[in-house]
Amino acid sequence: MRRSIIASIIAIVAGTALWGQAPRIGVFIPGAREGSPIYDTLAKGAERLVSEIPGASVRVIEAGFNQAEWEEKLTSFVASGKFDLVITSNPSMPELINKISKSFPKQKFICLDGYLAGNPNLYTALYNQLEQGYVNGYLSGLVSISGMKGTNPDKKVGMIIGQNYPVMDKMIIPGFTQGLKAVDPAFQLDIRVLGNWYDAAKAADLSRSLYAGGADVILPICGSASQGVVKVAQEVGKYLVFFDDDEFDRAPQNILGCAVLHQEELAYRSLKAAVEGKLPFGKAEVVGMKEGYIEFLDKNPAYIKNVPESIRKKVEAVIQAIKSGQLTFQVPSL
Ligand code: RBF
C-alpha cells in the first residue's frame, strides 16, 4: 500500500516535472461521444487519469461527423496552446496529426486505433482487429449453421459498416471472413456500407434487407447507427455480434457475442506513461488479445444463455489458440 502511494507520488512529481505543471490533456473526438463506445471510453480513460493527479485537467471536444472539418478543428484545438497532450482515436487521425504536427513541433499526440511510426511527437497503438473479427466471425458461422431458432441453412452472414477505410478493408473484414470460412469455406459475407456513423433509420433498412436476404447474424460497425440494427434484429428475431464494447444489455436475446476493445484502459495507461515520461513517442505499437486489450466476453450470462455449450467450447479453443500464439494474425501494412 505504502509502496504504491510512494510510486504514485513519484509519478505525479515526475509528470509535473515533465510539463512544468500538472498535465493538461485534450481529448479530440472525431465524431460524437454518445453512441460510439470507442470514443466514450477514450474520454473516460483520460478523465480517470486526471482524477488521480491533483491539478491536472482534461477537456473533451467532439469534432462531429463532418470529416472535412476535422483538420481545421484539430488545428485550432492544438493552436489554443492549452494542452500538453492531445489524445484521439481512429485510423484516419495519424495522417492528419502528421500534417498538423509540422506547425506545432512541441505538441505531443497520442492516437489509439491508428498506426503511424516515425513522428517523434506521435505515439500510436493499433488493435489487432484481425483477431477480434476472427473470433466474432467464427462464432457467427457456428451459430448460422447450428439450426438454432432464427437461423437458416444459407451460409450467409452480414455486416453494416459506417464507411470503408484501410483497417476495415484489410483487417476487420478479412478477420471476420476468415472466422466464417474456418467454419465452412462456403460462407458468404454480405456487406452494406452506410456512408456515415449516425443514420439509424438507414441502418435499419439495410439490416432488414440483409436479414431478408438470408443473413442470420449481422456485425454492425457503424457507430450510433447501430441502434437501427438492434431494433430490426429484435423485430425479426435474428442475431447480432458486436465489436468495441459490452452491448449485451441492448438486446440480451439477440446479441450472441461481444469482442471488446479495452480502450479506456489503453487511453489511461498510455496517457499515464506519457505523463511519467515513459511513452515511446515516435513508435507505433500493435496490441491484441495476448496483451489484454482485445477480449471476447465469454462470461456474460447472455452469451452463455444464447449460445449452446458445444459452440462455446469451440470458440474457447480459438481464443486459447490466439492467446497462446498458436493462431497468429499478421498485421498488414495499412
Ligand atoms: N466508429 C464509431 O463507433 N463511431 C464513429 O463515429 C466512427 N467514425 C470513424 C471515422 C473514420 C474516418 C474512421 C476511419 C473510423 C471511424 N470509426 C467510428 C470506426 C472505428 O475507428 C473502429 O474501426 C470501429 O469502432 C471498430 O473498432
CA-proximal residue: ligand 1, atom 19 (nearest): 90
- 332, part of any domain: no
Same domain, 230 and 220: yes
Distance from C-alpha of 239 to C-alpha of 230, rounded to nearest angstrom: 9
Q: What is the pLDDT of residue 7?
A: 55
CB atoms within 10 A of CB 281: 14
Residues spanned by the domain of 168: 129-260+298-324
In this structure, what C-alpha cell is assigned to residue 158?
Answer: 452480414
- 89, part of any domain: yes
Asked if residue 137 lies in contact with residue 114, where contact means CB atoms within 8 angstroms, the answer is no
CA-proximal residue: ligand 1, atom 16 (nearest): 90
Distance (Å) of CA 152 to CA 182, 215, 252: 19, 8, 21
Asked if residue 136 lies in contact with residue 298, where contact means CB atoms within 8 angstroms, the answer is no
Q: What is the pLDDT of residue 18?
A: 59
Low-confidence ranges of the chain (pLDDT < 50): 1, 11, 14-15, 17
Q: What is the pLDDT of residue 20?
A: 72
Q: How far is the CA of 69 from the centre of ligand 1 (A)?
A: 16
- 331, part of any domain: no
pLDDT tens-digit series, residues 196-245? 999 999 999 999 999 999 999 999 999 999 999 999 999 999 999 999 99
Asked if residue 115 lies in contact with residue 126, where contact means CB atoms within 8 angstroms, the answer is yes
Provide the domain count of the chain: 2
Q: What is the pLDDT of residue 17?
A: 46
Same domain, 114 and 173: no
Distance from C-alpha of 83 to C-alpha of 74, rounded to nearest angstrom: 12
Q: What is the pLDDT of residue 15?
A: 47
CA-proximal residue: ligand 1, atom 2 (nearest): 223
- 73, part of any domain: yes
Distance from C-alpha of 322 to C-alpha of 137, rounded to nearest angstrom: 14
Asked if residue 32 lies in contact with residue 224, where contact means CB atoms within 8 angstroms, the answer is yes
CA-proximal residue: ligand 1, atom 9 (nearest): 90
Here the CATH number for the domain that contains residue 105 is 3.40.50.2300
Q: How far is the CA of 223 from the centre of ligand 1 (A)?
A: 7
- 330, part of any domain: no
Same domain, 8 and 32: yes
Mutation pick for ligand 1 pocket among 28, 34, 38 (CB with most ligand atoms within 8 Å): 38
